[in-house]
Amino acid sequence: MKFGVIVFPGSNCDHDAFYAATRNLGQQAEFIWHDSASLGSVDAVILPGGFAYGDYLRCGAIAKFSPVMRAVRQFAAGGGPVLGICNGFQVLVEAGLLPGALIRNRGLKFICRELRLAVGTTNSPFTNAAATGQVLRVPIAHGEGCYYADERTLDELEAEDRVAFRYLDNANGSLRDIAGILSRERNVMGMMPHPERASDPLMGSSDGLVVFQSMLRAAVPA
C-alpha cells in the first residue's frame, strides 16, 4: 500500500505521518507538495497536522485553495480513502469534504496532552481493525479543536453511525464529545487527536496504529 502525505507550508506532522506509514506499518509513502496538481499513484491520502499557511485567516481556510486539494477532492469522489489529522481535519472541513467546524478550545488555550478516545464505529476504512467502544490513548495538540455543528448535523452524524471517535476526556469542549467523524460515503475521516504520535511503543502508546492498520486492511483484505 502506498500513502500520499500532503505537505502544506506550515505542516509540521508530515514526517510523523510518513514514519507511521513506513516504519510502524511497513508500507510505502511519499510526500506530495501543496501545489501539485496530481496525487500520482497513491492508495490513500493523509492530510497531516500543523499550521497550514500559518492559519492566518482561519485554520485550513487558505489551504483549501491549494492546487492539490482539487486532486484530493477527485480522489475522494472516486472512493479513495482520505485521512485528515488535526490541521488536516480543519482543512477537510473548510474544503467541504466533512461537515461542521473546528473552533477555539473551551478555555481558549492550546492543549497538548494524551487523552482517552472511544471507538464509535468499526464500519469504516479507518476503524475496521478496532472494536466498537475500544479505548485508545492518543495525544491532542491544538488550539482550535472544538468540534461544532448545528443540532441537525450532529443528529445525522449519530444516526448514520458516522462518529468515528469520541473523547472520554473532553478537554476542548467538542459538542457531543466528538473527536473524529466520517463522510457520508465513509471514505473520508477527520480526527483532531494524533494517531501518528501514538503508533510506536517508544512514544508511550501505540494505540493510534489501529487507524493505519485499518486503512491497510481495507486496501488489502485478508
What is the set of active-site residues? 86, 194, 196
Q: What is the pLDDT of residue 221?
A: 67
Question: Within 10 A of 65 (CB to CB), how many other CB atoms are there?
Answer: 12
Residue-wise pLDDT for 106-161, tens only, equals 999 999 999 999 999 999 999 999 999 999 999 999 999 999 999 999 999 999 99
pTM across the whole model:
0.97
Q: For 208-214, what is the mean pLDDT?
A: 98
Region 197-218 average pLDDT: 96
Cα angle: 66, vertex 72, 77; to 5 degrees: 140
Dig out the grid coordinates for 83 from the structure.
Answer: 485521512
Q: What's the confidence (pLDDT) of residue 157?
A: 98
Q: Which residues make Cβ contacts (< 8 Å) with residue 26, sequence separation at least 6?
A: none
Of 2-6, 96-100, 105-109, 174-178, the one with minimum mean pLDDT is 105-109
Amino acid at residue number 75: F
Q: Exposed e or buried b for every residue in 202-220, given b needs 16+ CB within 10 A?
A: ebebbbbbbbbbbbbebbe
* Segments forming the whole domain that contains residue 110: 2-219
Cross-strand partners of 148: 101
**Interval 79-97 mean pLDDT:** 98
pLDDT at 30: 97
pLDDT at residue 220, rounded to an integer:
79
- Confidence class for position 42, pLDDT limits 50, 70, 90: very high
Task: Report, as an integer, the average pLDDT of 79-107.
Answer: 97
CA distance 178 to 118: 10
Percentage of the residues of the chain whose pLDDT score is greater than 70: 99
Rounded Cα distance between 91 and 7, Å, is 12
Average pLDDT over residues 49-67: 92
What pLDDT score does 98 carry?
A: 98
DSSP per-residue letters across the chain? -EEEEEE-TTB-SHHHHHHIIIIIS--EEEEEETT-S---S-SEEEE--B-GGGGSSSTTTTGGGSHHHHHHHHHHHTT--EEEETHHHHHHHHTTSS-SEEEPPTTS--EEEEEEEEE--S-STTTTTS-TT-EEEEEEEESS-EEE--HHHHHHHHHTT-EEEEESS--S--GGGEEEEE-TTSSEEEESS-GGGGSBGGGTB-TTHHHHHHHHHHHS--
CATH number at residue 57: 3.40.50.880
Q: String of b and e for 122-160 (b: at least 16 CB within 10 Å)?
A: bebbbbbbbeeeeebbbbbbbbbbbbbbeeeebeebeee
What domain count does the chain have? 1
